Amino acid sequence: MSQSSAQLIQFFTEITKYGVVWTIKDDSGFPAPLGTDGRRTMPFWSSQTRAENIIRNVPAYHKFQSSSIDLNKFQTSWLSGLRQDKLLVGTNWTGRTATGFDLEPEQVLKNIEYYASLLAQIH
């Protein structure tokens, strides 16, 4: 399993378990860098520590701060807004180049629902 694959699984496992998604922002708002495919991606993380590691390790994000989003709000507001804006969702980007899987908002919503159902079966 690749590092990005492991991070993707951790992303959905942790956000459904803890009910929170993390992003980063600065005075101008939230980053949405242009990817190699010509589409913009807004990054999100499954923990504050993961988001702050990117702030610390990626020079382009040194002036950003971590910011939490309630999972329900992420599902009901953020994902529909990202879909309307034609943005991808970056999941648990890691490393000095901040890399990871970028998914369509619809894929993210389906995965959240799937992981939530798994979590419900355990409890």
Digit-coded pLDDT (tens) for 3-55: 768 889 999 999 999 999 999 999 999 999 998 889 999 999 999 999 999 99
* Percentage of the residues of the chain whose pLDDT score is greater than 90: 83
The answer as to CATH 3.40.1350.90 being correct for domain 3-122 is yes
Residue 17 has a pLDDT of 94
Contact 91, 101 (CB under 8 A): yes
Say whether pLDDT at 123 is over 80: no
Residue 4 has a pLDDT of 63
pTM score above 0.85: yes
The residue extents of the domains of the chain are 3-122
* Tokens at 31, concatenated: 């980053």
* Tokens at 66, concatenated: 């971590």
